[in-house]
């Protein structure tokens, strides 16, 4: 898998002066475009589109400072329809316009070319199982929250507080299916999402009963799920589990992610420092 990913990275480098089709990159990597974007984001620490933009602007920056071509020539060469569009993209990456950069010899940002390799540390193992599951319904309450990649998400904390411990306890009593207990679901998180992007967030239980205080429902379609377990410092252990799934488990297993809500069940210790977590990720067998 990593070899194919690196072939896709070579393709990016060879086509930085023209539009790059993510579907073609996924074809080279022998996987779906959805999974390719998710994999890239997890491995690179940034969305695919952001990496391509930074690499393209790194080359543009060198040409701007080199002074061999006009700014308009550089813009056209790299696929920008106007000098204004080029200037906006250049400033977004480098923090300065191309004209000013050329006049002043300003310090610019350089995005190194990336390649991927698997580092086997052997320091820990991942506990997981693969589950085939019929469709089910989560009942509870939903909201929209900004994406936070590391640390506590204040919007989620406040939302869960607004539901209240007593209500959550009653919900748990009415949980009738797996995953058991109170579950969090994120149903529209894309690999291109930047920090702060608003997500649909749902808190509830799998149940076919009337659940007191549950005013909304979320229907989840049948499919295959990879279920991972983690135990450790809260919330980092849970967030690192998500990272490890994409950087360690997917590259070494014959599955890829598929569209659908990601689910998590987290039980936090009384002092709020430790958590036992279970994460459900929708997957399908990788045709490659």
Q: Where in the chain is the domain with CATH 3.20.80.10?
A: 127-285
The helix (H) or strand (E) run that includes residue 49 is helix 48-66
Rounded CA gap, 33 and 23, in Å? 5
The reported pLDDT for the residue numbered 149 is: 64
Q: What percent of the chain has pLDDT over 90?
A: 47
Is residue 197's pLDDT more than 90? no
Q: How many angstroms separate the CA atoms of 66 and 105, rounded?
A: 10
142 confidence band (pLDDT: 50, 70, 90): very high
Domain 2-104 CATH (choose: 1.10.1760.20, 1.10.1040.10, 1.10.10.60, 3.40.50.2300): 1.10.10.60
Q: What is the pLDDT of residue 288?
A: 57
Residue intervals in the chain for CATH 1.10.10.60: 2-104
Q: What is the per-residue burial (b if ≥16 Cβ within 10 Å, else e) of 70-88?
A: ebeebbbebebeebeebbe
263, 183 contact by CB (below 8 A)? yes
Per-residue buried b or exposed e for 182-204, using 16+ beta carbons within 10 Å of the residue's own CB? bbbbbbeeebbbeeeeebebbbb
CB of 175 within 8 A of CB of 205?
A: yes
| pLDDT of 123 strictly over 50 | no
Structure-token match 């205080």, residue found: 213
- Could you tell me which CATH class the domain 127-285 is placed in? alpha beta
Least confident stretch, 56-65, 101-110, 239-248, 256-265: 239-248
Does 120 score more than 60 pLDDT?
no
User: Which secondary structure element, helix H or strand E, spans residue 162, and what is its range?
Assistant: helix 154-163
Residue in 114, 141, 113 with CA at minimum distance from that of residue 202: 141
């Amino acid at each position: 898998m990593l070899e194919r990913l690196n072939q896709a990275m070579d393709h990016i480098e060879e086509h930085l002066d023209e539009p790059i089709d993510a579907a073609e990159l996924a074809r080279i990597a022998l996987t779906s475009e959805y999974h390719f974007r998710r994999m890239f984001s997890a491995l690179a620490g940034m969305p695919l589109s952001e990496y391509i933009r930074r690499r393209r602007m790194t080359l543009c920056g060198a040409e701007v400072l080199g002074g061999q071509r006009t700014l308009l020539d550089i813009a056209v060469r790299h696929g920008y329809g106007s000098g204004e569009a080029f200037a906006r993209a250049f400033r977004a990456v480098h923090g300065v316009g191309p004209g000013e950069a050329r006049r002043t010899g300003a310090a610019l940002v350089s995005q190194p070319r990336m390649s991927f390799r698997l580092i086997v540390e052997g320091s820990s193992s991942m506990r997981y199982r693969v589950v085939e599951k019929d469709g089910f319904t989560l009942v509870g309450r939903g909201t929209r929250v900004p994406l936070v990649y590391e640390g506590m998400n204040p919007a989620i904390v406040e939302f869960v507080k607004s539901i209240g411990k007593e209500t959550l306890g009653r919900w748990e009593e009415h949980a009738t299916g797996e995953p058991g207990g109170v579950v969090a679901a994120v149903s529209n998180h894309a690999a291109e999402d930047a920090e702060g992007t608003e997500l649909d967030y749902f808190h509830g239980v799998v149940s076919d009963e009337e659940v007191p205080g549950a005013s909304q429902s979320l229907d989840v379609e049948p499919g295959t799920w990879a279920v991972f377990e983690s135990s450790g410092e809260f919330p980092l252990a849970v967030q690192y589990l998500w990272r490890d799934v994409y950087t360690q488990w997917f590259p070494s297993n014959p599955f890829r992610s598929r569209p659908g809500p990601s689910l998590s069940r987290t039980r936090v210790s009384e002092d709020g420092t430790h958590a036992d977590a279970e994460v459900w990720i929708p997957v399908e067998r990788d045709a490659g």
